[in-house]
Structure 1
Amino acid sequence: MPAQVEGDAGRIRQILHNLLGNAIKFTPSGRVRLRLIVQERSEQDVLMQWQVTDTGKGIPEKDLEHLFKPFFQVSAGQEGGGAGLGLSICSRLSESMGGTMRVVSEPGLGSSFSLFIRLPIGTSPPAMVPASKEGSQAPSAPLKLSVLVAEDNPVSQAVMCEQLEAIGAYPIVAADGHQALQLWQSKRFDMVITDINMPRMNGYALTRTLREAGVEVPIIGITANALREEGERCLQAGMTAWIVKPLSLGTLRQVLMKHCPGSTDTHAANDPGKEDFSGCIQLSQPMRQLLAQTLASDIEQLEKGVVEHDAVLVQQRLHSLSGALASINASALYSACQRLENMLQELPLDARLGGQVRALCGRLAQVAQRLSDEIPG
């Protein structure tokens, strides 16, 4: 392989995402393998083959010639179909890059899908090094953005929230467009990130409704479709930009920084707990003292649960915390507690999830300290 080639990384990633998703869906046991093979190479370009092979159910011969047609679905009684657009989109994406798609399959033995693209060989990879060093300080700064996320899929919700929190943003999740509109009425947000396809109210309708109401903040569309027509529809609906799933942490940060130029809030960074405490109802002195004390106890129990790998204790404490935070309208912290509680119903309390709980404890500690500082004497 050359050290660097020039091509459309987003579209290639989307094709592989679809092919791997299909392979996993229709392979109840066995394995799925991704290979990258150099078929031909010259001084100027290289013909590459990405091959996704599975040991799944396979596809009948009579269906192979129709696989890449829109809305076609295999007739072999396979479960978990869908709209039948995935492979059609893959084919169109490959053609837009001058590539081709091929498939070989045998019922009962599995399938092999290949993407062939000839790409120019990059000539100056060292030029990228100074650019990354030059901006090495900026990416580490927390963005301090309040982000409304409209997403119906629980896994996608968790991934998006985790990514946003990792870059210092404060996400609040809505399960569809209607819920997003309700949340918009209750809190100020710096940005909206919306999935395109959602039940009840999709991303297009949500965007149009917000724009008609005079909302001017950036609205970013998230789609699994890398076709240019999809992007044009997003912009026509009033979205500021659109990005394609799966998106990396770096891509997400770049989009937020590009469309929210003042995203690094140094004042908030020097005022611990300010963002999480904003929007809360006014509390009397006794209530502030009580809340500071209960938060300290909650933090202690959460940290104990993480250390002892006691998922039940952590869930119970998060549930209790959610009620208290909701009662004082601490919506950002309430949302974070709810998200972690829901994740613990499906996932083990491993090091990764434990790290998220500890990060929440850090935010709670800042709020508790702020409350304590406001108590006279």
Structure 2
Amino acid sequence: MHSCSTIFFGAVIIRIVAASKWVDCAAGTNYYVCAANGFRGCCSVDACNTAWCPDAGLPPPPPGTGNPGGFPYPGQCAAGKQYYVCASNGFAGCCSIDACNADWCPDAGSPPPPPGTGKPSTRLPPAGPGYSTLSTVVGGAPPPTSTPPPGPPVPSAQCTAALPSSISHAPVGPRPTDCPAGSTGKEVWGPTVYSVWHDQPQREGNASSVIIISQDYDNNKITNKRDAVLVFPVPKGAKNCAVRARTLGQGQNFGYYNHAAFVYKHMHLNGRSFKDAVGAAATWEKVKAVVGKEAGQSDMTAWAERTIPQEYSNSKVECAEDTAVLVSLMEFSYEGTLVLGNGNGTLPGSPGAYKPEHGFYLTYDC
């Protein structure tokens, strides 16, 4: 395992030091670091695209009480510096050296914060044995217009609390109802996402809006493979369905480790809803029975160097009222991880709309 993972977020390099690639979150939750609201911790929903994680039970902390501050967009670190968030010493900021492999960034001009002072280190689980997977998502959505009420920082112990598997099957919707004959290029954004684990075929993950796909490579074989199932609600009469993806130039939940090349695979639901096709639990044991051949490929590895929105792939898939597709990392002879948030044009918990849409979407004709 690696002692330092380099993950790219919006052309800003953020390094997070841990004993291995992941932070130990309870089943069905992922670890988030959110610029939009200051949340850091494990959550069963996309904490960066809500006002605050509902699992935490606490309002966001006011400025200066553990909030690491906004992550800079490209160019906001001075020339010769990069942005680091370090579990090893609690440093968060721009630095001219690798701050995560030093006692502290010398540019900061101050010693590391002592434990328990509310600095970023108190809200990021410490490096050390016992942590298995680091699932870090940086939210780049605009900050909310209203100031949230003050509250204490979320203790890192909350990440390991046993949280219920609360959502087996979230509603797939809202389902488009109009499909006028002859119309083309209609879009469905915001798929429901389910994670499935090949090595844990009976494990059930919560429905989510964030895609996390990953794999390890040990003893010349792929291990610990995690795929994502995307479910799109499609109206009756739809045809020529295709899955695409769009990334923004900045302000999007995105990260990868080693590579971000992936494949789409057909899922044959045979006219059934996704829930009827896989049963009560979205597990690999159930899902693999309806997975078909490869539908297409795409690669987001170069996203960190892009400063404008990008479109990826145009993979034709079977049209159905629940159109489902499996997304899986290409099986190279090394490990990898891809994290991608989906947005359907709204930011829950904030007034107004957050445009433009981003992530995976489906197009269809009528």
More helix by share: 1
More strand by share: 2
- Scaled by the length of structure 2, the TM-score of the pair is 0.25
Indicate the structure whose relative CO is greater, using CA pairs within 8 Å and at least 6 residues apart: 2
- Scaled by the length of structure 1, the TM-score of the pair is 0.24
